[in-house]
A and B are shown apart, each in its own frame.
Chain A
Amino acid sequence: MAAAVSAASVWRQSLAQAALLLLRRPGVRGLARSGRISFYMTNYGEEGTHVGSAAALDSTDLVFGQYREAGVLMYRDYPLELFMAQCYGNMSDPGKGRQMPVHYGCKERHFVTISSPLATQIPQAVGAAYAAKRANANRIVICYFGEGAASEGDAHAGFNFAATLECPIIFFCRNNGYAISTPTYEQYRGDGIAARGPGYGIMSIRVDGNDVFAVYNATKEARRRAVAENQPFLIEAMTYRIGHHSTSDDSSAYRSVDEVNYWDKQDHPISRLRHYLVSHGWWDEDQEKTWRKQSRKMVMEAFAQAERKLKPNPNLLFSDVYQEMPAQLRKQQESLAQHLQTYGEHYPLDHFDK
Chain B
Amino acid sequence: MNLFQAVTSALDNSLAKDPTAVIFGEDVAFGGVFRCTVGLRDKYGKDRVFNTPLCEQGIVGFGIGIAVTGATAIAEIQFADYIFPAFDQIVNEAAKYRYRSGDLFNCGSLTIRSPWGCVGHGGLYHSQCPEAFFAHCPGIKVVIPRSPFQAKGLLLSCIEDKNPCIFFEPKILYRAAVEQVPVEPYTIPLSQAEVIQEGSDITLVAWGTQVHVIREVALMAREKLGVSCEIIDLRTIIPWDVDTVCKSVIKTGRLLISHEAPLTGGFASEISSTVQEECFLNLEAPISRVCGYDTPFPHIFEPFYIPDKWKCYDALRKMINY
Query: What is the CB-to-nearest-CB distance from B54 to chain A, in angstroms, rounded to a whole number?
Result: 9
Which listed residue (B47, B62, B101) contacts A124, Cβ 8 A?
A: B62
**Given A123-B62, A127-B62, A127-B63, A320 contacting B98 (CB threshold 8 A):** yes
Chain B residues contacting A96 (CB-CB under 8 Å) are 102-103
Chain B residues contacting A319 (CB-CB under 8 Å) are 103
Any B CB within 8 A of the CB of A289: no
Bound CA span A126–B242, Å: 39
Any B CB within 8 A of the CB of A99: yes
Contact B61 A131 (CB under 8 A): no
Chain A residues contacting B187 (CB-CB under 8 Å) are none
Which listed residue (A107, A123, A320) contacts B99, Cβ 8 A?
A: A320
Any A CB within 8 A of the CB of B282: no
Q: Which single residue of chain A is at the shortest CB-CB distance from B163? A: A322
Contact B62 A107 (CB under 8 A): no
Contact B101 A113 (CB under 8 A): yes
Any B CB within 8 A of the CB of A115: yes
Any B CB within 8 A of the CB of A205: no
Any A CB within 8 A of the CB of B314: no
Which listed residue (A126, A154, A320, A322) contacts B102, Cβ 8 A?
A: A320
Query: What is the CB-to-nearest-CB distance from B105 to chain A, in angstroms, rounded to a whole number?
Result: 5
Which listed residue (A64, A103, A113, A327) contacts B239, Cβ 8 A?
A: A327
**Interface size class, chain B:** 35 or more
B28-36, B64-72, B114-122, B216-224 - the one binding chain A? B64-72
Any A CB within 8 A of the CB of B43: no
Chain A residues contacting B65 (CB-CB under 8 Å) are 64, 123-131, 141
Q: Which single residue of chain A is at the shortest CB-CB distance from B99? A: A320
Bound CA span A161–B62, Å: 8
Chain A residues contacting B163 (CB-CB under 8 Å) are 322-323
Bound CA span A128–B105, Å: 13
Any A CB within 8 A of the CB of B13: no
Q: Which single residue of chain A is at the shortest CB-CB distance from B67? A: A127
Chain B residues contacting A324 (CB-CB under 8 Å) are 162
How many A-B residue pairs lie within 8 Å, measured between CB atoms?
160
Chain B residues contacting A94 (CB-CB under 8 Å) are 102, 104
Bound CA span A206–B158, Å: 44
Contact A106 B47 (CB under 8 A): no
Which listed residue (A135, A160, A327) contacts B243, Cβ 8 A?
A: A327
Contact A128 B239 (CB under 8 A): no
**Given A120-B89, A124-B64, A125-B65, A95 contacting B104 (CB threshold 8 A):** yes
Any A CB within 8 A of the CB of B138: yes
Query: What is the CB-to-nearest-CB distance from B290 to chain A, in angstroms, rounded to a whole number?
Result: 25
Bound CA span A306–B155, Å: 46
Q: Which single residue of chain A is at the shortest CB-CB distance from B60? A: A123
Any B CB within 8 A of the CB of A153: yes
Which listed residue (A93, A127, A141) contacts B64, Cβ 8 A?
A: A127
Bound CA span A158–B104, Å: 24
Contact B98 A322 (CB under 8 A): yes
Contact A153 B57 (CB under 8 A): yes
Which listed residue (A105, A160, A165) contacts B104, Cβ 8 A?
A: A105
Any B CB within 8 A of the CB of A199: no
Which listed residue (B57, B71, B242) contacts A157, Cβ 8 A?
A: B57
Contact B89 A126 (CB under 8 A): no
Contact with B along A145-156 (1 / 0, CB 8 A): 000000001101
Which residues of A in the span 306-327 have a Cβ within 8 Å of any Cβ on B?
319-324, 326-327
Chain A residues contacting B98 (CB-CB under 8 Å) are 320-323
Chain B residues contacting A326 (CB-CB under 8 Å) are 191, 239
Chain B residues contacting A93 (CB-CB under 8 Å) are 102
Bound CA span A107–B53, Å: 30
Bound CA span A231–B47, Å: 15
**Given A131-B65, A327-B242, A328-B239, A113 contacting B71 (CB threshold 8 A):** no
Any A CB within 8 A of the CB of B253: no
Chain B residues contacting A327 (CB-CB under 8 Å) are 239, 242-243
Any B CB within 8 A of the CB of A134: yes
Query: What is the CB-to-nearest-CB distance from A203 to chain B, in angstroms, rounded to a whole number?
Result: 19
Contact with B along A320-348 (1 / 0, CB 8 A): 11111011110000000000000000000
Any B CB within 8 A of the CB of A122: yes
Chain B residues contacting A18 (CB-CB under 8 Å) are none
Query: What is the CB-to-nearest-CB distance from A172 to chain B, in angstroms, rounded to a whole number?
Result: 16
Query: What is the CB-to-nearest-CB distance from B93 to chain A, in angstroms, rounded to a whole number?
Result: 5
Question: Which residue, B50, B58, B85, B242, has most C-beta atoms of chain A within 10 A?
Answer: B58
Contact B69 A128 (CB under 8 A): yes
Query: What is the CB-to-nearest-CB distance from B56 to chain A, in angstroms, rounded to a whole number?
Result: 9
Bound CA span A113–B141, Å: 22
**Given A322-B239, A323-B98, A157 contacting B58 (CB threshold 8 A):** yes
**Given A107-B105, A326-B191, A112 contacting B100 (CB threshold 8 A):** no
Q: Which single residue of chain A is at the shortest CB-CB distance from B58? A: A157
Query: What is the CB-to-nearest-CB distance from A105 to chain B, in angstroms, rounded to a whole number?
Result: 5
Q: Which single residue of chain B is at the shortest CB-CB distance from A125? A: B65
Bound CA span A134–B46, Å: 11
Which listed residue (A103, A130, A157) contacts B100, Cβ 8 A?
A: A103
Any B CB within 8 A of the CB of A117: yes
Contact B100 A127 (CB under 8 A): no
Chain A residues contacting B108 (CB-CB under 8 Å) are 323
Which residues of B in the span 60-112 have a Cβ within 8 Å of any Cβ on A?
60-71, 73, 85, 88-89, 92-93, 96-106, 108
Bound CA span A329–B99, Å: 14
Any B CB within 8 A of the CB of A227: no
Bound CA span A107–B67, Å: 14
Bound CA span A164–B93, Å: 23
A residues with a Cβ closer than 8 A to B are: 62, 64, 93-99, 103, 105-107, 112-113, 115, 117, 120, 122-132, 134-135, 141, 153-154, 156-158, 160-161, 164-165, 319-324, 326-329
Given A123-B89, A157-B58, A326-B239, 7 other A-B residues pairs in contact with their CB atoms under 8 A: A62-B69, A123-B57, A130-B65, A134-B71, A135-B20, A323-B98, A329-B239
Nearest first, the 6 closest Cβ-Cβ pairs linking A and B are: A127-B65, A123-B61, A157-B58, A96-B102, A124-B65, A113-B101
Task: Name 7 interchain pairs, CB-CB below 8 A, sorted by A.
Answer: A94-B102, A98-B101, A113-B97, A154-B57, A164-B53, A320-B103, A321-B98
